[in-house]
């Protein structure tokens, strides 16, 4: 279908407005991070990269990045593994209470995160665990692993179960079927689930706030700094965090292609 | 073993170089022990009986078609035979080995799925090589065999590197077939693989499949709901109905001598006339039967059942013409079928009879044409059924 000329202009305008709405705040942060002024005001009188230099040298910032990275990485790996097997259990096997279990698993996603965070903190206290960034991993998983499962399950539901049966029929053991058919076919789902898991954990504030104890993740520190003691380091670290996310997305998009090319060459 | 089908010799032009086992050249060895024997096979799902005591013997090299309406149990049967489902009771024997407790991945059988189940993440070549890869065959040998098989299923060699998504429906059929042949199964099963294709392509592939069966000498067991498909390809046809074999035999026998009304009606268009014998004589509904001819044909006076006449056995009677069996009627409509013409005749009793003539015998038809039908008793078949 081809829209009329006025319709087309309308659509373009709509698209541009959406993009502006999404990206203008980010652009503003970008400007703030390169301004010498303490508070952002236009026009910017003098540009500087001093905040970036300061951020990269700062031990606090590197500690923050390191903790956030550890939490997000572990959450990602665990979510991918749990999500993979969970999705298979839902899509491939018939068992009692399957549907009920499927719904119960997804329930934490609908909890307000701050309530969930508080509940988890009380739970950790009750069983005598001192909250650190380790407990934050568990808190993140409660919220993120179901999402990862959901993403992989969509993929698992969409592929023909006859593919696995055919593999078995042609002599594959359970493990060979998994390796030759199931894993390669679910891989796109697993990669997107991993990507989502990482980004959701990396940017999570409400769960971390309650469950990291004395440790600080990046979003927590940014919030604390904005509430008291704002400096242009806040937009700078924010921009660094965005940059890290972009690098990750780029990696996630290119690595499978590279792996694909590599394995195809080696099998030739 | 009673296999009435002739032992055919393979097409002289066929390329047999890929098959070293020349003992299989004769199409079917009727005297050899059967390749598959199924004894009292039963399968129930909760309270539903999907398969009710099936017995079957298949000769080495045979092409058996299992035909039935959906829900008749044919898919359940094939899934039990390849090991994807476990039977409730009964035995499956492959030659002299009992295989019903052997898991699917260790049975020397292979199936072409209805969805074909080609791996979308692998190329055509990788798909065909798959069973060999699992068996640990080295890449060079695998590739050589895959190229041979591409030849056998009439796909060009450069298809080896094509993606499955780039292949048409007919090409995918061939790839699936090549993959199954790469497995080199004792018995090759087919679960309606042609059902999704258009008519012309289906007709072509039916013939190719039959040809391939003769060239490879493998045992094929093919399930379908299309009788035509079964008739074109197979040596024997098994008609399934509610989890049982209603009749099993060569296509010709099932067509001409069905054992039940169900089979008669399933095997294409048919005229059936109810017959009630009282011990002294037999009365037929809708038609008049000449008593002299009836006596000569050896019709038993106690017969209960149906007299069957296929449309091609029935004529339209011109005034003065006679036959063993006759009825007056009104020719309601005419259908041209190409080389043949079909007429729907409403008999005076209300029964609608189908008559099929060759084109040379076509009558000048107009609405309201009054013409009787007639056929001879030696062209009929009697079905005993209460």
Nearest to B117 among A166, A171, A184 (CB): A166
Average pLDDT along chain A: 85
Alpha-carbon distance of A160 to A91, in angstroms, equals 11
Distance from CA of A159 to the nearest CA of B (A): 10
Alpha-carbon distance of B164 to B179, in angstroms, equals 13
Residue B278 has pLDDT above 90, yes or no: no
Taking contacts as CB-CB distances below 8 angstroms, the residues of chain B near A166 are 111, 113, 117
Q: What is the pLDDT of residues A78-101, one digit of tens each?
A: 999 999 999 988 888 878 888 888
User: Within chain B, where are the H helices?
Assistant: 74-82, 124-134, 139-152, 169-183, 199-216, 227-233, 251-256, 261-266, 291-296
Residue B16 has pLDDT above 60, yes or no: no
Straight-line distance from the first to the last Cα atom of chain A, in angstroms, rounded to the nearest whole number = 43
Average pLDDT, integer, range B364-371: 87
Residue A48 has pLDDT above 80, yes or no: no
Q: Which of B134, B136, B172, B185 to mutate to test the interface with A (most CBs of A within 10 A)?
A: B134
Q: Which of A50-64, B212-226, B292-306 has maximum average pLDDT?
A: B212-226
Q: Which of B117, B132, B193 to mutate to test the interface with A (most CBs of A within 10 A)?
A: B117
Could you tell me the domains of chain A? 1-48 (no CATH), 58-267 (1.10.3720.10)
Q: Which of B121, B136, B177, B190 to mutate to test the interface with A (most CBs of A within 10 A)?
A: B121
Tell me: cis bond preceding A43? Omega within 30 of 0 counts. yes
Tokens at B308, concatenated: 């069957």
Ranges of each domain in chain B? 22-262, 269-384
Cβ within 8 Å, pair B105-A181:
no
Burial of B262 (0-12, 13-18, 19+ CB in 10 A): middle
Residue A257 has pLDDT above 60, yes or no: yes
Alpha-carbon distance of B174 to B180, in angstroms, equals 10
Average pLDDT along chain B: 87
Residue B13 has pLDDT above 80, yes or no: no
Taking contacts as CB-CB distances below 8 angstroms, the residues of chain B near A158 are none
List all residues of chain B from 158 to 187 with a beta carbon under 8 Å from chain A: 179, 183
Taking contacts as CB-CB distances below 8 angstroms, the residues of chain B near A169 are 82-84, 104-105, 109-111
Nearest to B130 among A165, A170, A173 (CB): A170
Distance from CA of B83 to the nearest CA of A (A): 8
Pick from B232, B330, B325, B312: which is nearest to B270 by CA? B312
Least confident of A176-180, A232-236, B43-47, B259-263: A232-236
Nearest to A163 among B105, B106, B119 (CB): B119
Query: What's residue A264's pLDDT?
Result: 56
Sequential DSSP letters for A31-87: HHHTBSSSS--SSPS-B--HHHHHHHH-HHHHHHHHHHHHHHHHHHHHHHHHHHHHH
Query: What's residue B27's pLDDT?
Result: 56
In whole angstroms, what separates CA A11 from the centre of its chain? 30
β-pair type (B329-336, B369-370): antiparallel
Alpha-carbon distance of B132 to B312, in angstroms, equals 50
Distance from CA of B103 to the nearest CA of A (A): 9
Cβ within 8 Å, pair B84-A165:
yes
Query: What's residue B14's pLDDT?
Result: 33
Sequential DSSP letters for B35-75: SEEEEEEEEEETTEEEEEEEEEEE-TT-EEEEE--TTSSHH
The CATH class of B269-384 is mainly beta
- What residues of A are in the B interface, CB distance below 8 Å? 160, 162-163, 165-173, 176, 180-181, 184-185, 267
Cβ within 8 Å, pair B110-A169:
yes
Nearest to B134 among A165, A170, A184 (CB): A170
**Across-strand partners of B343?**
B334, B355
Query: What's residue B2's pLDDT?
Result: 38
Chain B's closest residue to A185, CA to CA, is: B121
Least confident of A108-122, B107-121, B177-191: A108-122
Tokens at A36, concatenated: 């010498």
Query: What's residue B15's pLDDT?
Result: 36
Options 3.20.20.70, 3.40.50.300, 3.40.50.880, 1.10.3720.10; CATH for B22-262 is 3.40.50.300
Nearest to A160 among B82, B110, B115 (CB): B115
Backbone dihedral angles phi then psi of residue B86, each to the nearest 5 degrees? -105, 135
Alpha-carbon distance of B342 to B329, in angstroms, equals 15
Non-local (6+) Cβ contacts of B24 within 8 A are B61, B216, B217, B218
Nearest to A173 among B84, B105, B121 (CB): B105
Average pLDDT, integer, range A113-124: 90
Tokens at B165, concatenated: 């998504």
Distance from CA of B342 to the nearest CA of A (A): 43
Distance from CA of A164 to the nearest CA of B (A): 8
């Amino acid at each position: 279908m081809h829209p009329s000329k006025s319709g087309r202009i309308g659509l373009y305008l709509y698209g541009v407005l959406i993009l502006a709405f999404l990206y203008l705040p980010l652009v503003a942060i970008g400007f703030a991070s390169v301004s010498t002024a303490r508070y952002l005001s236009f026009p910017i009188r003098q540009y500087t990269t001093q905040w970036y230099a300061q951020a990269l040298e700062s031990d606090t910032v590197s500690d923050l990045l390191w903790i956030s990275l550890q939490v997000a990485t572990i959450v990602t790996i665990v979510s991918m593994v749990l999500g993979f097997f969970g999705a298979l259990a839902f899509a491939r096997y018939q068992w009692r209470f399957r549907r009920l279990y499927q719904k119960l698993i997804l329930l934490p996603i609908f909890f307000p995160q701050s309530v969930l965070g508080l509940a988890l903190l009380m739970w950790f206290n009750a069983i005598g665990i001192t909250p650190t960034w380790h407990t934050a991993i568990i808190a993140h998983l409660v919220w993120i692993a179901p999402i990862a499962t959901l993403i992989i399950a969509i993929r698992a539901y969409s592929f023909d179960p006859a593919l696995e049966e055919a593999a078995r029929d042609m002599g594959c053991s359970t493990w060979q079927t998994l390796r030759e058919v199931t894993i390669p076919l679910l891989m796109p789902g697993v990669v997107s689930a991993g990507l989502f898991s990482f980004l959701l954990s990396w940017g999570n504030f409400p769960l971390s706030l309650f469950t990291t104890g004395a440790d600080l993740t990046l979003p927590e520190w940014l919030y604390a700094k904005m509430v008291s003691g704002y400096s242009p380091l806040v937009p700078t670290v924010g921009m660094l965090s965005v940059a890290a996310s972009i690098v990750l997305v780029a990696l996630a998009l290119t690595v499978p292609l590279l792996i694909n090319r590599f394995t195809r060459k080696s099998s030739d | 073993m009673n296999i009435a089908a002739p032992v055919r010799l393979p097409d002289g032009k066929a390329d047999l170089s890929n098959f070293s086992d020349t003992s299989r050249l004769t199409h079917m060895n009727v005297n050899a022990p059967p390749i598959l024997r199924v004894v009292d096979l039963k399968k129930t799902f909760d309270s539903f009986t999907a398969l009710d005591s099936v017995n079957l013997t298949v000769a080495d090299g045979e092409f058996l078609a299992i035909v039935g309406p959906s829900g008749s149990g044919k898919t359940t049967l094939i899934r039990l035979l390849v090991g994807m489902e476990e039977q409730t009771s009964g035995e499956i024997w492959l030659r002299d080995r009992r295989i019903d407790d052997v898991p699917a991945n260790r049975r020397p059988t292979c199936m072409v799925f209805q969805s074909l189940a080609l791996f979308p993440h692998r190329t055509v070549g990788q798909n065909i090589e798959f069973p060999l890869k699992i068996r640990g065959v080295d890449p060079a040998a695998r590739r050589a065999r895959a190229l041979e098989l591409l030849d056998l299923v009439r796909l060009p060699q450069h298809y080896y590197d094509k993606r499955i998504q780039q292949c048409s429906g007919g090409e995918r059929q061939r790839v699936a077939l090549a993959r199954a042949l790469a497995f080199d199964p004792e018995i090759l099963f087919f679960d309606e693989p042609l059902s999704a294709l258009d008519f012309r392509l289906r007709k072509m592939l039916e013939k190719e499949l039959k040809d391939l069966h003769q060239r490879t000498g493998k045992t094929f067991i093919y399930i379908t709901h299309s009788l035509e498909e079964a008739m074109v390809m197979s040596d024997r046809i098994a008609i399934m109905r509610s989890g049982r074999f209603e009749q099993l035999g060569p296509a010709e026998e099932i067509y001409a001598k069905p054992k039940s009304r169900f089979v008669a009606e399933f095997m294409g268009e048919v005229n059936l006339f109810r017959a009630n014998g009282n011990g002294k004589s037999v009365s037929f509904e809708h038609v008049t039967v000449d008593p002299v001819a009836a006596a000569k044909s050896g019709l038993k006076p106690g017969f209960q059942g149906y007299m069957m006449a296929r449309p091609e056995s029935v004529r339209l009677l011109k005034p003065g013409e006679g036959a063993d069996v006759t009825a007056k009627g009104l020719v309601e409509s005419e259908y041209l079928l190409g080389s043949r013409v079909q007429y729907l005749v409403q008999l005076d009793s209300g029964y609608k009879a189908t008559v099929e003539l060759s084109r040379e015998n076509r009558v000048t038809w107009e609405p309201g044409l009054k013409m009787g039908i007639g056929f001879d008793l030696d062209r009929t078949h009697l079905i005993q059924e209460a």
